[in-house]
Amino acid sequence: MVGVGFGLIGLGALGAWLLYRRRLYETAWFHRFALLALALPFLANITGWVVTEIGRQPWTVYGVLLTRDSVSPAVWAPPPCSSP
């Protein structure tokens, strides 16, 4: 996710440099690369979410312990508030 972010920053810097050199509109390879890079933020978002969710419950992912058995007995939820 971070690598994709730095890559897109680099792509933007390259585009700014090409614009400064007045070659942005003539470089077809940059346009193709920028078009392919449109999918990268979505890919980074999905992979970041998957890594976060896998890291949240590693014991459940690897099948060592079930989620219902991994809840701490000391953690409890307060009863819901009743409205008068």
Please write the tens of the pLDDT for every residue from 6-57: 999 999 999 999 999 999 999 999 999 999 999 999 999 998 888 877 776 6
Tell me how many domains the chain contains. 1
Question: For the whole model, what pTM was predicted?
Answer: 0.62
39/45 Cα distance (integer angstroms) = 10
Does a structural domain hold residue 39?
yes
3-class SS of residue 35: helix
Who wins on pLDDT, 84 or 71?
A: 71
Does a structural domain hold residue 45?
yes
How many C-beta neighbours within 10 Å does residue 31 have? 13
Does a structural domain hold residue 75?
no
